[in-house]
Amino acid sequence: MEIYLASPRGFCAGVVLAIDLVEIALEKYGAPVYVKHQIVHNPVVVSEVESKGAITVENVSDVPDNSVVVFSAHGSPPSDYKLAEEKNLRVIDATCPLVTKVHNEAKKYSKEGKNIILVGHKGHQEVIGTSGQANMKIIDDRDEFNLENNDSVKDEDVIVLSQTTLSVRDTENTVNKIKDVFPKAKIRNDICYATTNRQEVTVKLASEVDLILVVGASNSSNCNRLRDVSIQSGTNAYLINSYDEIEKKWLEGIEKVGITSGASTPDKLVYEIVKKLEPKKVIRFHDIDEEIKFEIPRKVKKLLDE
Ligand code: SF4
């Protein structure tokens, strides 16, 4: 069997920054440092930071008063910051700058009196954070939806935002349906560079191989979308977090296996799987250069300097 290893894959700049911030907080304040929601959606990353003294909790109310808490990369609603203030927590905000950008768009357009539609997956942490920034309607592309302009809203007053980790193709379809009702709606393209690049490479990889294995966690939105885009491109794909999850029958008659991973997957998981598959050859399937790095936001730097 030959393995085609997608590039770029794995950690994005937002994930690297978020993990760095937990480690910096642990170094500066000592354990425990609380993390509100999984710092990124990967159990290996979560258990690594927990082994260093981080404690993951789901709600700000679970953090003891006067503690240090890191807010995860997915972003948080204003109510979380408010409660943190009431509990006298020191908040290290690890929200990805590209998610913050969407929050800022929501606040700006809301102030201008626009009608905001957010295309995103209901219940996902990022959507909880973004929808808390302003009043908006959420359209989940996993559900059938019927959009009607019952309130006679002017279509130029409609703004369409999106979750950063959606499928580029599915979102385009959803946006087209929205445009059928509001032809002049302003469409912000909020799907981030990491999601777009990983999907673009996966589509091309799908035409080269017989099967794609996406390495990553089942609760990771961008990992799930990589599996979806591969299947939509006509190549079967499975989402796995370890070699043990591979079923023998998947590989029967397969000569070329493509491997990729989502933005929250550490590369060591990919290498472990490649090694255990014992391929005849590993071919790097490189398509897009990606050298983006995020600096620590000024506000967080100031807090860490205090
Ligand atoms: S996937 Fe995109 S939005 Fe999410 S942390 Fe990475 S760069 Fe930021």
Q: Return the bridge partners of 186, or none.
A: 159
Q: Is the pLDDT of residue 149 over 90?
A: no
Q: Is the CB of 129 under 6 A from ligand 1?
A: no
For residue range 226-257, what is the model confidence (pLDDT) as tens digits? 999 999 999 999 999 999 999 999 999 999 99
Nearest Cα to 295, choosing from 20, 45, 81?
Answer: 20
Tokens coding 141:
């592309």
Q: Is 166 in the pocket of ligand 1 (CB under 6 A)?
A: no
Question: How many Å lie between the centroid of ligand 1 and the Cα of residue 164?
Answer: 7
Host H or E run for residue 44? helix 43-51
Asked whether the predicted pLDDT for residue 63 surpasses 90, the reply is yes
Helix (H) or strand (E) holding 274: helix 267-277
- Grouping H, G, I as helix, E, B as strand and the rest as coil, residue 295 is coil
Residue with tokens 């203030």: 85
pLDDT in tens, 7-50: 999 999 999 999 999 999 999 999 999 999 999 999 999 999 99
Contacts of 233 (CB under 8 A, 6+ apart): 202, 203, 206, 207
Domain with CATH 3.40.50.11270 in the chain: 13-96+294-305
The fold adopted by the segment(s) 2-11+193-286 is Cobalt-precorrin-4 Transmethylase; domain 1 (3.40.1010)
What is the number of other CB atoms lying within 10 angstroms of the CB of residue 1?
Answer: 14
> Would you say 214 and 240 are in contact if contact means Cβ atoms under 8 Å apart?
yes
Question: With bands split at pLDDT 50, 70 and 90, how would you rate the model's confidence at 264?
Answer: very high
Task: Give strand pairing partners of 261.
Answer: 215
**Identified catalytic residue from 2, 23, 85, 126:** 126
User: How confident is residue 152, by pLDDT bands cut at 50, 70 and 90?
Assistant: confident
DSSP one-letter code for 156? G
Average pLDDT over all residues of the chain: 96
194 lines ligand 1 (CB under 6 A): yes
CA of 263 from ligand 1 middle (Å) equals 7
Residue 150 — very low, low, confident or very high, per pLDDT cuts 50/70/90? confident
pLDDT tens-digit series, residues 139-148: 998 888 878 8
| Rounded average pLDDT over 203-231 | 96
Angstrom distance (rounded) from CA 33 to CA 120: 30
CATH 3.40.1010.20: which residues of the chain? 2-11+193-286, 98-187
Distances (CA, A) of 81 to 71, 91, 128: 9, 8, 13
- Statement: residue 184 has pLDDT above 90: yes
CATH T-level topology, domain 98-187: Cobalt-precorrin-4 Transmethylase; domain 1 (3.40.1010)
Quick one: average pLDDT of 156-167?
96
263 lines ligand 1 (CB under 6 A): yes
The topology under which CATH files domain 13-96+294-305 is Rossmann fold (3.40.50)
